Chain A
Amino acid sequence: MRVLFVTGPTRESWYQLVPLCQAVRLAGHQVIVAGHEDVLPVVVSSGLPAVAVSATTLHAGLVDRSGEQVEIPSDAAERDLAIGRIIGRFAARSLDGLSSIVEQWRPDRVVGDAWAVAAHLVADRYGIPYVRFGVDIATPVAQTLAAIMELGPELEKWGRHDLSTPWLSISAAPPALRPADAPPSEPMRCLPVETQVALEPWMYLRDSRPRVVVSVHDPSLPWALFGPARLAELTVGLPGLGAEVVVAGSPAALEQTPPLPAGVRVGQAPLAVLAADCDLVVHQGYPDTILTCLDKGVPQVFLPAHPGFVEPAEQLTELGAARVTCAASSAPEHVTDLCGQVLADSALRETARRMHGTYDLPDPRRLVDLITAEIDGDGQGEVAE
């Protein structure tokens, strides 16, 4: 069977799809990953065949269809709609590229990231069973609906009134964070995946001090209110806690990180390797970072990069596995204090460690049979123009 995977608009959203993609391939099926030029190097580095959909970017969605620059409103409901429309415009600009790939390769299944709305529409257009894959963290339903709304003209053009109900839906949301409004789905264990580099001893060896990892994230979201520079500024006092401080991230994130105090380690290092043996991860609240921290059972301090990231941070704070503070209004001293409290809080550490045990979900191999199951009267891969 030919299975087309379609990435979301950002690199980090691709990572969560990797284990499923590899599981399908290892089961003997043909797999191709369609993604944007931006994302392709990361896909290729995961050892999977990748094809470019288009050169558009999520940031290009800041210009609307009539050429107007859009602002991100501060009102929460309006902001969700604006963000959804950016995702929708990204999808609209992906439809031609994706349609060509589907026409040429004729997949039997399309598996798309929840943000790859174009994948869903193209699968519907060609009558191919669509499998939705979502992590379902920090994605308000209004964003998804606004993305679909933005595609109204294309739905109309292709004779559709709405997206279909996915043939299969898979969710890698950790049960503790799964929102009530996430679509009904088959659960899947989410395994942390990231771009690998040759390891150096400092990455997997710690000294006797407490180890704090500051995870700077790719500036991938146009609506993020702050990036690596602000995170570095806010965490400048951490060495004062007597801790070993490591600042790690992708090359793009490190490029935006200002010079750091002597004694702070900076480098591109896999977070999963660092988090496996550390006492605290300070980060901007991106879902891929959260998932890695949960999987490793490590305490977290959130400085959410935008208001949409606050909800999971608060959920984990309520569960006693994390703390959150506002990146815009906090001073470095406050962040240092907060991190000091977390390092001294053995109950929090224990709760975070136990979160790891909540990951008792089917692993990706168990989903392969569902994805490739035969369908009654299946017009598999038929191009229905």
Chain B
Amino acid sequence: MRILFVAGGTSGVIFSIVPLAQAARDAGHEVVMAGPENVMATVTTAGLAGLPVTARKMLDTLRYDDGSYRTIPTDLHERYIFNGRCFGRYASWCLEALLTFADQWRPDIVVGGSLVFAAPLVARYAGVPYVRQAVDMGEPRTIDLAAAAELGTWLGRLGYHEMPRADLFIDVCPPSLRETDAPPAELMSYVPFATKGPIEPWMYTRGSRPRLLVSAGSRVSRDRDFEVLSGLVTKASALDVELFVAAPPAVAEALRPLPDNAWAGWVPLDVVAPTCDVVLSHAGGTTVLGNLHYGVPQVLIPYLPYALGFTRRVVEYGAAVMVPPEDDSPENVVEACRAVLDDSSYRRRARDVAAEMSRLPGPAEVLATVERLALAHGPRGRG
């Protein structure tokens, strides 16, 4: 059958849906993953057929048409609405090409990541079931609602009175960390996927000292974050650890000279994480899930408000320590890392989650549900 995957506008959210798409391709289905031009390399290097649907980038949603930047609100409710509207805006840019492609290619079913709001619309338009796959451990629900409102004009044009609801929701959040009111879902084991490159022995072998990995994300280009990062490197040099800083080349260069026990540059998280004793990050959804998959305890600084919900759940579970963004001095961050290294309970809890995740059905098994859904609906949506 023909399965259309609709990807989001950033690598992180694409990584999450790659395993199911690969499972579908490996089962012999025709698979196309649609997304913006600037992520096509991410899609095609995952071995998937990529369909570019817009020349605009996710980051362009932060600007007005004249190029000036929109003001990001500080009030939390307004900020969620702002974020949701950005996702809605992004979806609206993808729709024209997606609908044309749906007419030409006639998918049997559409799979979209949680924040990809073009997916439900193209599914409904094509008259086929829509599968929604969580890309991390959930976002504030106002984001979904605001994306829908932003797409109101499109909905009106297509004659729909609401966002089409998912026929199947696949969640990748381990059961112990799901919200108590999470919607009914088919649970799937989260398999980390990341951009690949040649790996070296130090990446997959441990040394004698504990390993601390800092996953700096894309935020380090900002001045303030860089200070936190460089301060951290200095402070961590006092710890008896190996320190790895996963950072873009320019940031890694700026950090040099590094103390003897530190290394900065490209780090394939899915290769290195299993050798680590603690991972420090800004609590990006896929980073947190990936480390849970490998049973690595974490120190989380949820800089983006949407990450606060799941960060709290992981902390409550005992698999991570949170440093509130307003307390992110190098001293505090190093202290939190030391606490995780010194107390084996974090490692134990992280491994408990990993065990739980490994018992969930994998992408190939969940694919069977997707297939059944498409078949029940009939060939090419005309059944």
Contact = CB atoms under 8 A, between A and B. Distances in A.
Interface of A: 64-66, 77, 80-81, 84, 140-146, 148-149, 151-153, 155-156, 159-162, 165, 179-184
Interface residues of B, number: 30
A141 B160 contact: yes
Nearest to B157: A181
Contact of B141 (A84, A152, A180, A184): A152
B156 A162 contact: no
Interface in B144-192: 144-146, 148-153, 155-156, 158-163, 165, 180-181, 183
A140 B156 contact: yes
Contacts of B142: 149, 152-153, 155-156
Given A149-B148, A149-B149, A161-B141, 20 more contacts: A66-B75, A66-B77, A140-B156, A142-B152, A144-B162, A145-B151, A145-B152, A148-B145, A148-B149, A149-B84, A152-B80, A152-B81, A153-B77, A156-B140, A159-B180, A161-B181, A162-B141, A162-B144, A165-B165, A181-B158
Contacts of B156: 140-142, 179-181
A152 B77 contact: yes
Contacts of A160: 141, 181
Contacts of B96: none
B103 interface: no
B78 interface: yes
B50 to A, nearest CB: 31
Contact of A81 (B149, B159, B163): B149
A80 B152 contact: yes
A288 to B, nearest CB: 22
Interface of B: 75, 77-78, 80-81, 84, 140-142, 144-146, 148-153, 155-156, 158-163, 165, 180-181, 183
Contacts of B163: 145
Contact of B145 (A141, A145, A181, A183): A145
B146 A141 contact: no
Given A66-B75, A84-B149, A141 B161 contact: yes
A162 B149 contact: no
A162 B162 CA distance: 11
A135 to B, nearest CB: 14
Nearest to B161: A183
Instruction: Output the residue of B75, B140, B162, B183 with the most chain A CB within 10 A.
Output: B162
Given A159-B181, A162-B141, A152 B152 contact: no
A152 B140 contact: yes
Contacts of A64: 78
B307 to A, nearest CB: 16
**Residue from the set A146, A151, A160, A182 with the largest chain B CB neighbour count within 10 Å:** A146
B345 to A, nearest CB: 30
